[in-house]
């Protein structure tokens, strides 16, 4: 059984019921299709039926008449009487009543504003008209637009959807590739770059060196030969215990540990060190500008100050991500506030800059400077 919607005059709505093999034996012939036409909101002057076959309706334009509703009612009554006397109608009604579908709606008017083919059957049922061009001219799946009455329209829509899906899949693949590349840059390449930058900036150190926020001692073994005495300071006792375990018994340069708050250097005399270093510590200090000024005070006038920090960038998208995850990152990294403006702190402290550059989307700041 096939179901569909067709429009005989352009303004009428019909329900078509196509029966195969559901008529008495004496009425069956090979490849015979009987159509049961049930009117729904019909406005037509007449419908001619001859014998066992239902002929096509002749399209007529009714003149404008104020008694249109009365004429429509009479036409419906006349059509109902004609159908009652038609043998195809009686056989169809008998078959439907036997299956319990005599009062069941056999078709639905679908919106023409869709990109997908009209659904003629329930899911799981097979349509003899599916993906074929042999639809009878009086069976129209759509209405209001002649271009939508043909299978070519459905085929063009299917091809259009396939083309769109190709672009969508291409965009998704590119997005996944970009995400994988970004993760590789952050979690694989960036740690290697930081080690290279740490070695590069330590090549500027010499003499007596003070390293603030030494932590676990990531710089041990990276100092050049001119640096002969290293003082490593941190207030976190747990990290200093790990640092002690990493120190060799006999080494050059010599290492010394200070358990002291980095922001309080009042006990350190002026000009005590040739090199003062801070690696990723300004993001932890309560007053970064004051700490930079204290670093300049304890450094000799001809000494050098080395900074390797992370903070804000000139990229608004990266800054948005830093601001969004600021609180969660601070909880998981001993209070690190990674969206601080490091360059603004350096300029405010009065540090004389020799070399300043940024890496990793501008989040890493490499600075070599002199005391003011």
Which CATH number do you get for residue 239?
Answer: 3.40.50.150
Q: Please check whether residues 198 and 214 belong to one and the same domain.
A: no
Q: Please check whether residues 161 and 101 belong to one and the same domain.
A: no
Q: Please check whether residues 181 and 213 belong to one and the same domain.
A: no
CA dist 257 and 358 (Å) reads: 30
pLDDT tens by residue, 143-163: 444 445 556 666 777 777 788
pLDDT tens by residue, 191-221: 899 999 999 999 999 999 999 989 888 899 8
Residue 337 belongs to a domain: yes
Residue 360 belongs to a domain: yes
Structure tokens at 251: 């080494």
Mean of pLDDT values over 342-352: 93
Residue 23 has pLDDT above 90, yes or no: no
Q: Please check whether residues 195 and 269 belong to one and the same domain.
A: no
Is cis: bond before 264, omega within 30 of 0?
Answer: no
Residue 141 has pLDDT above 70, yes or no: no
Residue 122 belongs to a domain: no
Q: Please check whether residues 192 and 232 belong to one and the same domain.
A: no
Q: Please check whether residues 179 and 90 belong to one and the same domain.
A: no
pLDDT value at residue 188: 87
Q: Please check whether residues 229 and 366 belong to one and the same domain.
A: yes
Domain of residue 195 covers 143-202
pLDDT tens by residue, 29-47: 333 333 333 433 333 333 3
Domain count within the chain = 3
Q: Which of 350, 356, 215 is nearest to 278 (CA)?
A: 215
Q: Please check whether residues 220 and 319 belong to one and the same domain.
A: yes
Q: Please check whether residues 208 and 353 belong to one and the same domain.
A: yes
Residue 194 belongs to a domain: yes
Q: Which of 298, 275, 167 is nearest to 223 (CA)?
A: 275
Residue 130 belongs to a domain: no
Q: Please check whether residues 231 and 365 belong to one and the same domain.
A: yes
Q: Please check whether residues 222 and 310 belong to one and the same domain.
A: yes
Q: Please check whether residues 172 and 208 belong to one and the same domain.
A: no
Residue 100 belongs to a domain: yes
pLDDT value at residue 98: 85
């Amino acid at each position: 059984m096939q179901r569909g919607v067709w429009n005989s005059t352009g303004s009428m709505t019909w329900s078509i019921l196509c029966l195969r093999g559901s008529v008495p034996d004496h009425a069956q012939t090979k490849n015979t299709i009987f159509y049961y036409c049930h009117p729904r909101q019909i406005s037509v002057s007449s419908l001619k039926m001859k014998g066992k076959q239902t002929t096509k309706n002749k399209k007529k334009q009714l003149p404008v008449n104020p008694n249109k509703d009365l004429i429509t009612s009479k036409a419906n009554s006349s059509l109902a009487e004609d159908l009652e006397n038609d043998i195809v109608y009686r056989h169809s009604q008998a078959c439907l009543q036997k299956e319990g579908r005599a009062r069941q709606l056999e078709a639905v008017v679908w919106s023409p504003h869709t990109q997908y083919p009209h659904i003629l059957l329930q899911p799981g049922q097979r349509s003899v008209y599916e993906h074929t061009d042999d639809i009878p001219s009086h069976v129209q799946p759509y209405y209001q637009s002649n271009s939508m009455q043909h299978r070519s329209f459905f085929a063009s829509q299917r091809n259009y959807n396939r083309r769109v899906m190709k672009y969508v899949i291409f965009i998704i693949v590119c997005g996944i590739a970009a995400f994988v590349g970004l993760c590789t840059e952050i979690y694989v390449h960036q740690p290697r770059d930081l080690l290279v930058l740490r070695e590069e900036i330590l090549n500027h150190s010499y003499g007596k060196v003070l390293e603030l926020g030494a932590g676990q001692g990531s710089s041990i073994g990276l100092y050049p030969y001119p640096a002969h005495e290293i003082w490593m300071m941190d207030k976190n006792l747990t990290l200093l215990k790990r640092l002690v375990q990493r120190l060799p018994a006999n080494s050059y340069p010599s290492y010394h540990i200070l358990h002291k708050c980095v922001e309080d250097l009042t006990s350190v005399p002026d000009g005590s060190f040739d090199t003062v270093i801070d690696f990723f510590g300004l993001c932890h200090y309560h007053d970064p500008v004051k700490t930079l000024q204290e670093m300049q005070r304890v450094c000799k006038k001809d000494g050098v100050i080395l900074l390797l920090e992370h903070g804000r960038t000139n990229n608004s998208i990266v800054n948005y991500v830093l601001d969004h995850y600021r609180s969660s990152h601070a909880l998981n990294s001993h209070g690190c506030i990674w969206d601080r403006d490091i360059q603004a702190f350096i300029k405010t402290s009065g540090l004389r800059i020799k070399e300043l550059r940024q890496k990793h989307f501008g989040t890493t700041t490499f600075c070599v400077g002199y005391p003011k």
